[in-house]
Amino acid sequence: MIFTDQLGNKIELAQTPKRIISLVPSQTELLYDIGLRDEVVGITIFCIHPDLWFRTKNRIGGTKKYDFEKIKQLQPDLIIGNKEENEQEQIEELSKLYPVWLSDIHNLKEALFMIISIGALVGKNEEATNIKLQIEYSFHQLICHLELVEGLNPKSQILNVAYLIWQNPFMLAGQNTFINNMLTRCGFNNVFASVDLARYPEVTKEQIAKANPDIIFLSSEPFPFKEKHIEEFKIICPNAKVMIVDGEMFSWYGSRLLQAPDYFTKLIQSLL
């Protein structure tokens, strides 16, 4: 069986894989939700969902640095990773020894394609298709909610937001990122989604103030922003509403998307 990943690389599998290593937390959760159990033999230290796997599965390091000896001991017949979350050099080394399938995701369409593709890879086509259809339906309901909000409030305007992912230095989600696609689907305008900026630009306090966002979202990951950080950003942008948001809902592109539209709906309602 020959499969093509989202970078166009082809891998050949002699049979449905029985010893899988996942290098990406959101894709690890997907593997569980489409019904895999013993087939997954290794995960990263950041694969916190499901909790049972986090507590019991072999951990092969982080998403950026792996324990190659432990991977060798696990004898994987498939490794699943992601272009952005995993280091290219290490992926190239793994690809010399094992079949490696990589996702490359910037928007919901690519996330849904990944879900279907992984379902085909691991022999869970029906389960993956069901998850894809549920996600599509949930995001359709989100659109309906946004249209209802606009209909009830004709004077409503698109809110300008800044989405912080890191502290010292300040880093934000910019253009062509999955987070930005989620913000757009919520009806927000990302003030740092400029083509002149990097995908995850580093900015100063002065730049944030100049952007003058209506709302500042402080993500719970990868940097764990807490309530104590809110006051710092209120000083930078006194007129902005500053709040902590669940980073998994905005950046996990696997089966966590089943929960995201409901979370987004409640978030939007809290801002009305």
Query: Is residue 136 in a domain?
Result: no
Residues 266, 185 share a domain: yes
Q: Which residues of 93-117 are buried (b: 16+ CB within 10 A; e: fewer)?
A: ebbeebbbbbbebbbbebbbbbbeb
Same structural domain for residues 78 and 165?
Answer: no
Give the domain range for residue 67. 2-104
**Contact between 29 and 255 (Cβ < 8 Å):** yes
Q: How many domains would you assign to the chain?
A: 2
CATH number, domain containing residue 91 = 3.40.50.1980
Can you read off the two tokens belonging to residue 204? 């100063």
Tell me the pTM: 0.95
Q: Residues 163, 72: one domain?
A: no
Q: Is residue 147 part of a domain?
A: no
Same domain flag for 250 and 166:
yes
For residue 139, tell me if it sits in a domain.
Answer: no
- pLDDT by residue for the chain (272 residues), tens digit each? 999 999 999 999 999 999 999 999 999 999 999 999 999 999 999 999 999 999 999 999 999 999 999 999 999 999 999 999 999 999 999 999 999 999 999 999 999 999 999 999 999 999 999 999 999 999 999 999 898 877 666 556 689 999 999 999 999 999 999 999 999 999 999 999 987 889 999 999 999 999 999 999 999 999 999 999 999 999 999 999 999 999 999 999 999 999 999 999 999 999 97
